[in-house]
Chains A and B, each alone.
Chain A
Amino acid sequence: MAMTARQRAKVSLYVQAGIFVVAVAAVILAVDWKTVGNSVFNFAKIGPMFPDIFLIGLKNTLIYTALAFVVGLSGGLLLALMKLSSFPLYRWIATGYIEFFRGVPALLVFIAFGYGVPLAFGVQWDVNIVVMVSLGMVASAYIAETLRAGLQAVPRGQMEAARSLGMPHWRAMVSIVIPQAFKIVLPPLTNEIILLTKDSSLIYVLGLTASQYELTKFGRDGISSLGAGLTPLLVAGAFYLVITIPLSLLARKFESRSARTKR
């Protein structure tokens, strides 16, 4: 009568799978498909979104993400080196910066730079610059922590060997430690790009002209102009996946590939 441990585990797995199937079926049955079909899957009317969703939405999302990443990577490297510095002031500045920009919502940073800077200094920044600065500053806080972990993961013997060959500290960092650290953080760094891609949608809080729309704003615009309900937003969402899924696959490839690579 009593089941063996293996039998119990097997029964438990069947029960779990059963609960999952029942839950999914319940949701599918509960949905009002006719209404949803009209307002979310109304693909008949979205023709006008093309080709501008490529030429404007996708293009701008990629540009904003790339700009923010360049700032985030260089700022992050600088902050990571400061955080590992033997000079306490550098460590304090880096720690304060990282804690602040990781702690506040990116949306508030966008508002601060998009509306605060014109008020404070009387200058109106180009949208590209606002994105670069605000998203870049948030990104650099996250990337700094990733890079710091990577730099610390490089064995101490690497620095010692480089110094023993007569390299100054900065040279050993540049030629020996940092390249190895980057190899270590490549997978988490790819995740940072994915987060940035999605965070670039927060730019909607700034007043954008039509040619500056990125994917989300482009989709929202479609909601009001196309009469296809929320369908344009669904399409925009799919385009994010076009960017992020290849990045995920890339990250997984970096992860599975062993440390050794020919350049």
Chain B
Amino acid sequence: MNNSTGSTAAVRAAGVDIKDLRKSYGNNEVLKGISLTVEPGQVVCLIGPSGSGKSTLLRCVNLLEHPNAGTINVGKFEATDPDVDLNRMRQSVGMVFQHFNLFPHLSVLDNCTISQMKVLKRSKSEAAEVARRNLERVGLGHLSDRFPDQLSGGQQQRVAIARALSMDPQLMLFDEPTSALDPETVGDVLAVMRKLAQEGMTMLVVTHEMGFAREVADRVVFMDAGVVVEEGPAEHVISAPSQPRTKEFLRRVLDPTHIDVVED
């Protein structure tokens, strides 16, 4: 899906513009001046070895991590402006976590309605209607009365996506959404994400699913050691990488059983 912009009028998509972003923990600089643009309606996949800073970058976009320098613009919000209304900004940015982070004390439906009611001040019935619509969207309308611990990992992640969608976000952030899942449930989650992409949602996805990235992403960004090493259309970065570090990473990911023969 390469040019998805404007395919569905229902989504008011927002773009992301990141300029020279830096983030350190103590003396350890994990983001060393990252610049990245996601156009409204685009899907961008962030790939790279663990510790490369891609999750930190994603978490900086809705300010779960506070960058030390640089600017981030999300739609009409300047996230790095100290005066930004963080809660308003986060309402328009959906976040999906590796470990789902569903609220275990609330039913599936209440997980999807609570912030609609408490933050957007929607009525209970309106919130429930929106929640049911989004649970249908991820194929789980029939499980709305269950509790999170009664669901499989894949189902929990789809509920987490429905929960985020219920706030009518203009941008969705995915932080390794399938990394904690049993292999047989990964496909359902990826199918939901693929559908979202087709509907024109702006998506920034940290992932190790190279098949998904190749098929769905408009652009793929390869990060290593806190810098963007290579970026471009998926068919270039994944199928014909130009940088040696990208080649090395992809060789390991795509052929994990490959063993280098070392002579001794």
Q: A161-B95, A165-B119, A165-B163 are in contact. Are A259 and B104 (CB under 8 A)?
A: yes
The count of residues in chain B whose C-beta lies closer than 8 Å to any C-beta of chain A is 28
Q: Is the CB of A259 within 8 A of B119?
A: no
Q: Does A107 contact B (CB under 8 A)?
A: no
Q: Does A18 contact B (CB under 8 A)?
A: no
Residue of B nearest to A168 (CB): B87
Q: With A and B bound together, what is the CA distance between A262 and B119 in angstroms? A: 24
Q: Is the CB of A165 within 8 A of B104?
A: no
Q: Is the CB of B97 within 8 A of A161?
A: yes
Q: With A and B bound together, what is the CA distance between A259 and B102 in angstroms? A: 14
Q: Does B193 contact A (CB under 8 A)?
A: no
Q: Is the CB of A165 within 8 A of B101?
A: no
Least CB distance from B262 to A in Å reads 41
Q: Does A91 contact B (CB under 8 A)?
A: no
Among B93, B94, B115, contact of A162 (Cβ-Cβ < 8 Å): B115
Q: A167-B87, A167-B119 are in contact. Are A160 and B167 (CB under 8 A)?
A: no
Contacts of A171 in B (CB 8 A): 118-119
Among B97, B104, B115, B160, contact of A166 (Cβ-Cβ < 8 Å): B115
Q: Does B164 contact A (CB under 8 A)?
A: yes
Q: Is the CB of A183 within 8 A of B105?
A: yes
Least CB distance from A47 to B in Å reads 51
Q: Which of B104, B147, B167 has the most CB of A within 10 A?
A: B104
Contacts of B64 in A (CB 8 A): 160, 163-164
Q: With A and B bound together, what is the CA distance between A179 and B110 in angstroms? A: 14
Q: With A and B bound together, what is the CA distance between A174 and B75 in angstroms? A: 30
Q: Is the CB of B103 within 8 A of A167?
A: no
Contacts of A6 in B (CB 8 A): none
- Per-residue CB contact flags for chain B residues 104-119 toward chain A (1 = under 8 Å, else 0) read 1100000000110011
Least CB distance from B112 to A in Å reads 10
Q: Which of A163, A164, A168 has the most CB of B within 10 A?
A: A164
Q: Does B252 contact A (CB under 8 A)?
A: no
Q: A165-B167, A166-B91 are in contact. Are A175 and B147 (CB under 8 A)?
A: no
Query: Which residues of A in the span 125-183 have a Cβ within 8 Å of any Cβ on B?
Result: 155, 157-158, 160-168, 171, 175-176, 179-180, 183
Contacts of A8 in B (CB 8 A): none
Q: Does A260 contact B (CB under 8 A)?
A: yes
What are 13 pairs between A and B in contact, CB < 8 Å? A158-B101, A161-B103, A164-B94, A165-B91, A166-B87, A166-B90, A166-B91, A167-B115, A167-B119, A168-B87, A180-B105, A260-B149, A262-B147
